[in-house]
Amino acid sequence: MSLVPKKIFYVKGKGFSTNSELRSFEQALRDAGIEKFNIVKVSSIIPPFCKEVSKDVGLKELKTGQVVYSVMSKISSNKKDKEICASIGAAKPVKAEDYGYLSEKHSIDEDPGIVAEITKALAAEMLATTHGVSFDPSLNIKTKSFTESTKVRKDGEWATVLSAAIFIL
């Protein structure tokens, strides 16, 4: 069996808990729709010919309890009024036979729009440099980002945000 993913989709979620950080993470997984899977974190390559599908299509192809490979960004905090943010950036050449790159970033009290732009730029730069060229915006690379953020509502209450690229084998 080949472990090269054939498809990819993206999710994001947020969760809160007065009990624990772990519970807020579980709530974020539920919000993202990926709580039923055994998630294994992997690094950052989008394989050649890996087709992007919608979240709804992707979730239908997975089974409860399945081991799922993911590039995930997540952050938690219990400090009131802190804005937490998790983002995944994706860069993919236009040619399907070339591989792409994913980047992840999480932050506290950073503008989510800026974080999203940073993850797109990081993915594009890392992709360019793995091909041995300096990043140039004129390169034929498609970029996007998937970002989730929230403010911690009160001291002692945990908040978690996540953004993830989910691979389907």
Domain residue limits, the chain: 7-168
Rounded to the nearest integer, the mean pLDDT of the chain is 93
Residues 38-83 have pLDDT tens digits of 999 999 999 999 999 999 999 999 999 999 999 999 999 999 999 9
Predicted pLDDT at 137:
59
Q: By the 8 A CB rule, do 143 and 95 touch? A: no
Q: What angle do CA 94, 96, 97 make, to 5 degrees?
A: 120
Q: What is the pTM of this model?
A: 0.93
Is the pLDDT at 118 greater than 70? The verdict is yes
Is the pLDDT at 136 greater than 80? The verdict is no
Is the pLDDT at 134 greater than 80? The verdict is no
Q: How large is the C-alpha radius of gyration of the chain?
A: 16
Q: 7-168 adopts what CATH topology?
A: Pyruvoyl-Dependent Histidine Decarboxylase; Chain B (3.50.20)
Predicted pLDDT at 2:
79
Q: What are phi and psi of 51, to 5 degrees?
A: -90, 130
Predicted pLDDT at 80:
95
Q: By the 8 A CB rule, do 90 and 102 touch? A: yes
Predicted pLDDT at 140:
72
Find the farthest-apart pair of alpha carbons in the chain and give their distance in angstroms, rounded. Answer: 49
Is the pLDDT at 128 greater than 90? The verdict is no
Residues 88-113 have pLDDT tens digits of 999 998 888 989 999 999 999 999 99
Dihedral of CA atoms 65, 29, 118, 167 in degrees, nearest 10, equals 20
Higher pLDDT, 140 or 90: 90
- Tokens 């590039």 belong to 71
Higher pLDDT, 31 or 130: 31
Predicted pLDDT at 123:
94
Tokens of 137: 């915006």
